[in-house]
Amino acid sequence: MDLKNEWLDGVKTAREKAYTPYSNFKVGAFLIAKDGTTFDGCNVENAAYGDCICAERTALVSAIAQGYKPGDFEALVVTTDTPTPSSPCGSCRQVIKELCNDEMPVYLTNIKGDVIKRTVDDLLPLGFSGRDLEDVK
């Protein structure tokens, strides 16, 4: 699956919605469901830094809140204003692993147009998720 121009436009728009008064590090995420529905996310900071939420988790939580289920997603695009594309933090990688299929593409981009394509499994190899608990009795 290739990165689509409309996904890049969507992730740039999502990034502009970020609330980052402390770090000024805006991140956008654009989640594409298998049925074509899209969800954008942005990071939202808080003066109590531990209460911040990342763009990737915002998009995924929005989709789940709208009734989507783990595995319903086709791709995730993340963008930052950095010299090279940035990868999701550890917390985001865990949530992505829980809610997305291991082979789903994750496109890491920056506003200059650089792109790195990885899979969920590339981002968190040997990760633990609810799928690991399916056979536990």
The pTM score is 0.93
Confidence (pLDDT) at 49 = 87
| One CATH from 3.20.10.10, 3.30.830.10, 3.90.79.10, 3.40.140.10 for 5-126 | 3.40.140.10
Q: What is the mean pLDDT of residues 55-76?
A: 97
How many CB atoms lie under 10 A from the CB of residue 36? 7
State how far the Cα of 22 lies from the Cα of 49, in Å rounded to an integer. 9
Q: Binding site for Zn(2+): what residues are annotated?
A: 54, 89, 92
> Higher-confidence residue: 133 or 99?
99
Mean pLDDT to the nearest integer, 20-35: 97
Q: Which positions make up the binding site? A: 43-49, 54, 89, 92
With a cut of 80, say whether residue 28 has pLDDT above it. yes
Is residue 98 among the annotated active site residues? no
Q: 97-131: buried (b, 16+ CB within 10 Å) or exposed (e) per residue?
A: bbbbbeebbbbbbbbeeeeeeeebbebbeebebee
At 137 the pLDDT is 63
**pLDDT at res. 1:** 77
Token pair recorded at residue 129:
């998720």
Q: Exactly one of 16, 56, 98, 103 is catalytic; name it.
A: 56
How distant, in Å, are the alpha carbons of 11, 81, 133 from that of 56? Answer: 11, 15, 24
Amino acid at position 97, single letter: K
pLDDT at 65 exceeding the cut of 80: yes
Q: Is the pLDDT of residue 104 over 90?
A: yes
Lay out the sheet containing 115-119: strands in order across: 38-42, 27-33, 73-80, 105-110, 115-119
Residue 53 confidence (pLDDT) above 80: yes
Question: H or E stretch including 109?
Answer: strand 105-110
Q: Contact 56/41 with Cβ under 8 angstroms?
A: yes
Asked if residue 136 has pLDDT above 80, the reply is no
Q: pLDDT of 76-102, one tens digit each? A: 999 999 999 999 999 999 999 999 999
132 pLDDT tier (thresholds 50, 70, 90): confident
Annotated binding site for substrate: which residue ranges? 43-49
Domain-wise residue ranges, the chain: 5-126
pLDDT tens by residue, 4-20: 999 999 999 999 999 99
